[in-house]
């Protein structure tokens, strides 16, 4: 059985519920570029089925009911729209409203104290992650983050495993020595393709998705001040929040061959 060596976290929706800020940044960019588009929350939840803002924008343009030459003009504009959106997103993060989801800071500190490596893997740009870390992690915890892999480092977005495979290589740990945390179906597909034990904590944006293959599904990691309800806690022996000790036991149990040899 391989000892637990690293925790791997998805970023958007897992570390922080960032998608409302992303949505506001997209809409602000649409206004500034006079595009006449607006993504309301329902529409954005649908669009989130495509991971990666660039592909999300391209897919949105592709389904617009406009003349072919106008569609081509808009398609050429997509990278510039996304650059403006990313700039605005950085400004919104600086506004200080983003908060780590329950249990993230606690687990990062527990993992660090236990000598585990910690990595982040996201379909967003690495620059966005660095801005998020600066805006949400206590300075004392930032040193625990061993590696960050964003979409700019790999060829394919989630559900492809690329960001997780590069993160494993960067951390120099095997998949079987890790536990991954995700919030979306695309993210879970990516972690499973990378061979990772995966705990899913859906966000309000991904709650309606299907998480086939999740090793554990919780509404959040929970915390002293944000305890899991009895139904959710039942999945982790009744504990009010997920601790590193429980993660370690779940990971070890998953690594142990089943009685029937499966």
Q: Interface with Mg ion by CB under 5 A: which residues?
A: 10, 12-13, 183-184, 187
CB nearer Mg ion, residue 54 or residue 74 = 54
Tell me how far, at minimum, the Cβ of 13 lies from ligand XBP, in Å. Answer: 5
Q: Are 75 and 54 in contact (CB under 8 A)?
A: no
Q: How many CB atoms lie within 10 A of CB 20?
A: 16
Closest CA to 233 of 217, 248, 244: 217
* Residue of 12, 17, 215, 223 marked active site: 12
CB nearer Mg ion, residue 74 or residue 160 = 160
Q: Choose, by CB under 6 A, the member of 4, 6, 7, 11 that binds ligand XBP.
A: 11
Helix (H) or strand (E) holding 179: strand 178-182
Residue 3: CA count within 13 A, CB half-sphere: 5
Residue 152 DSSP code: G
Judged by beta carbon distances under 5 to 8 A according to partner kind, the member of Mg ion, ligand XBP, none in contact with residue 102 is none
Q: Is 229 a catalytic residue?
A: no
User: Using CB under 6 A as the criterion, what x/- string covers residues 13-42 for binding ligand XBP?
Assistant: x-----x--x--------------------
Tell me how far, at minimum, the Cβ of 202 lies from ligand XBP, in Å. Answer: 11
Q: Which residue is nearest to ligand XBP (CB)?
A: 53
Tokens of 52: 């990666």
> What are the C-alpha distances in Å from 6 to residues 16, 201, 218?
20, 18, 20
CA distance 119 to 9: 6
Tokens of 215: 């090793």
Judged by beta carbon distances under 5 to 8 A according to partner kind, the member of Mg ion, ligand XBP, none in contact with residue 122 is ligand XBP
Tell me how far, at minimum, the Cβ of 180 lies from Mg ion, in Å. Answer: 11
Tokens of 43: 């529409």
Q: What are the backbone angles phi and psi of residue 104, rounded to the nearest 5°?
A: -65, -50
Q: Is 12 a catalytic residue?
A: yes
Q: Choose, by CB under 6 A, the member of 27, 128, 136, 146 that binds ligand XBP.
A: 128
Judged by beta carbon distances under 5 to 8 A according to partner kind, the member of Mg ion, ligand XBP, none in contact with residue 52 is ligand XBP
User: Using CB under 6 A as the criterion, what x/- string covers residues 143-172 for binding ligand XBP?
Assistant: ---------------x--------------
The answer to whether residue 10 forms part of the interface with ligand XBP (CB under 6 A) is yes
Give me the DSSP letters along 84-118: HHHHHHHHHHHTT---BPTTHHHHHHHHHHTT-EE
Q: Are 117 and 131 in contact (CB under 8 A)?
A: no
User: Using CB under 6 A as the criterion, which residues of the chain lie in contact with ligand XBP when the complex forms?
Assistant: 10-13, 19, 22, 51-53, 86, 122-125, 128, 158, 184, 187
Q: Which residues are catalytic?
A: 10, 12
């Amino acid at each position: 059985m391989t000892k637990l060596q690293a925790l791997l976290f998805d970023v958007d929706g897992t570390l922080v519920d960032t998608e409302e800020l992303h949505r506001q940044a997209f809409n602000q960019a649409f206004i500034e570029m006079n595009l006449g588009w607006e993504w309301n929350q329902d529409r954005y939840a649908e669009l989130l089925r495509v991971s990666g803002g660039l592909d999300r924008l391209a897919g949105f343009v592709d389904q617009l009911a406009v003349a072919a030459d106008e569609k081509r003009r808009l398609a050429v504009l997509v990278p510039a729209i996304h650059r403006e959106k990313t700039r605005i997103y950085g400004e919104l993060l600086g506004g200080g409203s983003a908060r780590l989801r329950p249990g993230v800071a606690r687990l990062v500190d527990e993992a660090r104290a236990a000598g585990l490596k910690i990595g982040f893997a996201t379909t967003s740009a690495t620059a966005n992650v660095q801005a998020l870390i600066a805006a949400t992690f206590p300075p004392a915890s930032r040193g625990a983050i061993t590696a960050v892999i964003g979409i700019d480092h790999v060829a394919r977005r989630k559900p492809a495993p690329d960001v997780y495979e590069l993160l494993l290589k960067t951390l120099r740990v095997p998949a079987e020595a890790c536990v991954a945390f995700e919030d979306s179906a695309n993210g879970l597909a990516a972690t499973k393709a990378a061979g990772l034990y995966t705990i899913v904590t859906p966000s309000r944006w991904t709650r309606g998705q299907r998480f086939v293959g999740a090793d554990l599904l919780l509404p959040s990691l929970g915390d002293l001040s944000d305890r899991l309800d009895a139904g959710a806690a039942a999945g982790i022996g009744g504990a009010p929040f997920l601790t590193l000790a429980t993660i370690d036991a779940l990971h070890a149990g998953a690594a142990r061959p089943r009685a029937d040899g499966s």
